[in-house]
Amino acid sequence: MKRNLLFLIALLTYVLSFGQGELDAFRYSNNDLSGTARGQAMGGAFGALGGDVTGVAINPAGIGVYRSSEIVANMSLASPLITGNTVQESNLKFSFDNLAYIYYYPLVKGGILTLNFGFNYNRIKNFNQTYSTSKPEMKSSLTDYMALLTNGINETEFDRDPYKYSNAPWLSILAYDAYLIDPKGDKNDEYVSILNENERVSPYLKVKEKGRVESYDFTIGSNISNKFYWGTTISIIDLSYIMTSSYDEAFLGERSRGFQLDNFLETKGSGFQVKLGAIFKPIDELRIGLAYHSPIWYSMTDYFDASINPRGIPNDKGGFAGITETPIDAYVKYHLRTPGIWTISFAGVLGSKAIVSMDHEIKSYGAMNLKDKDRNDWKDVIKIMKEDYKSTYTIRAGLEFRFTPQFSGRVGYAWIQNPYKENIKATGKIVETAGTIPHYVLSNCANNFTAGAGFRFTPQFYMDLALVLRTQNDDLYFFKPVNESDSFQGTFTNKSLKGLVTLGYKF
């Protein structure tokens, strides 16, 4: 059987073969708990409070609450803590998360008391983590999934004209050329794994991710009669993400046989967003906030690279199969639209002693959208996203108590609902991943437990501290479950501990 794939294929072929998946769209659509140490210490529940750049990022009307100008800088130190059937490389990561300037401009014109302006640099997500996991024995093989993926492609097309299988997944092409799949009997458009029916494998997966999402916010807002505050923000978003993974499978029938699949994905994106917000104070002790964040409209570019290195796999020339690779330095451009967000907030201000606040956020992940570079919908992926994702709720709550005019204590909690419908975990369910990457993680609900303290050294200068413990159970799959596949690796607890320091100066 002749297998001389031509890898110098036109860029169009490569673009059609690689597309973003539903899980990647979600990765770029959800954010971490972010903001100043004061805001995070109170669980991020600042939508009705204002007077803090965390609140302005949630509800732009919060800028109208300011009664002085302010400069703020925020730093964090974080460490991942994964437990379960994975091994996490735990190392401290320092980051500069916030830099903000608020300009207070008094303006007594009718009921308009102020017109304030602000700029806020805010790191809203970190992707940094490295983990590895393995199984001593598994009855399913990635080769089974690759065979299923290749069904429907006539074998003659591999040799005759690679342009005709431009829509075929590159994982199929790599598997075919590495001799990991064969035609089924005398059929030339159905495929089976080269493994025997009862032959088992031992998988090992290592994944390294890094990157961030950064928001540059420009806000304007005002105070009307100390009763109503409004604000609007235009945000410029910058995104970068790099993932490298290595999936190794040893065939237990003959331990000298197996293969290693290496993947590289780099995503770069930029986008914009508009935020609108209002805060109403019917009485001095109560504030009610409402905010809307538009979707982020991203322009994205993905760079893919993948290879399979077979071990001890015979070819049809009397030798052994060699390394197969995708084209180098090819890319795909596309557009992503994230979900919009509605937030309703309540806060009680108990004199000068205490503040109690709560935010309720609604986000519909089924509204995510992917388009190609010419803005044509990726209809198949969009259909799957609508089937697999639901509207989610985030609840944030916080308490601040001022022990003295110079010292305050804070506690908070934030619960973030997972976005998946139950059918995404069904055996045989299509789960769209990017390019030739077979592994994926389904995140469950996240809990953030927060606490902190504030110190006012002078009427102008202050410092806030916070600790944030985030815990979330994640389901890891080596590849998409098919038939009676046991590719599900298991649920592991993904924890992180973050410390924050915020320095501020009012003038």
Which tens digits make up the pLDDT trace of 140-181?
A: 999 999 998 888 887 776 654 443 444 457 888 899 999 999
Sign of CA dihedral 100, 103, 104, 109: negative
Residue 85: what pLDDT?
Answer: 65
Residue 243: what pLDDT?
Answer: 96
pLDDT-derived band at 135 (thresholds 50, 70, 90) equals very high
Q: Over pLDDT 90: what percentage of the chain? A: 70
Q: Under DSSP, is residue 44 helix (H, G, I), strand (E, B) or coil? A: coil
Nearest to 207 by CA among 112, 111, 127, 98: 127
Residue 306: what pLDDT?
Answer: 92
Q: Are 57 and 217 in contact (CB under 8 A)?
A: yes
Rounding to the nearest 10 degrees, give the CA dihedral for residues 417, 421, 427, 433: -70
Beta bridge partners of 369: 337
Give me the mean pLDDT over the 182-202 stretch.
88
Least confident residue range of 58-62, 182-186, 344-348? 182-186
pLDDT-derived band at 12 (thresholds 50, 70, 90) equals very low
Q: Are 473 and 494 in contact (CB under 8 A)?
A: yes
Structure tokens at 458: 């002078």
User: Which domains, from first to last, does the chain contain?
Assistant: 11-506 (2.40.160.60)
Q: Which of 187-196, 211-220, 316-325, 430-439 has the highest mean pLDDT?
A: 211-220
Give me the mean pLDDT over the 398-402 stretch.
98
Query: Residue 341 is which amino acid?
Result: I
Least confident residue range of 32-46, 232-246, 281-295, 315-329? 315-329
Sign of CA dihedral 170, 315, 184, 204: negative
Query: Residue 96 is which amino acid?
Result: F
Determine the Cα–Cα distance for residues 193 and 283; give it in Å rounded to an integer.
70
Arithmetic mean of pLDDT over the chain: 89
Angle CA 162–166–167, to nearest 5:
140
Q: Which of 18-27, 319-328, 332-341, 475-484 has the highest mean pLDDT?
A: 332-341
Residue 5: what pLDDT?
Answer: 36
| Helix ranges restricted to H, 71-225 | 142-150, 155-160, 170-177
φ and ψ of 227, to 5 deg: -120, -35
pLDDT value at 427 more than 80: no
Nearest to 399 by CA among 362, 454, 459: 454
387 CB-side CA count, 13 A:
15
pTM attached to this predicted model: 0.91
Give me the mean pLDDT over the 372-390 stretch.
92
pLDDT in tens, 467-496: 999 999 999 999 988 777 788 888 888 888
φ and ψ of 147, to 5 deg: -65, -45
Give me the mean pLDDT over the 257-270 stretch.
96
pLDDT-derived band at 19 (thresholds 50, 70, 90) equals low
Contacts of 186 (CB under 8 A, 6+ apart): none
Give me the mean pLDDT over the 282-295 stretch.
97
Q: Are 287 and 347 in contact (CB under 8 A)?
A: yes
pLDDT value at 134 more than 50: yes
pLDDT value at 367 more than 60: yes
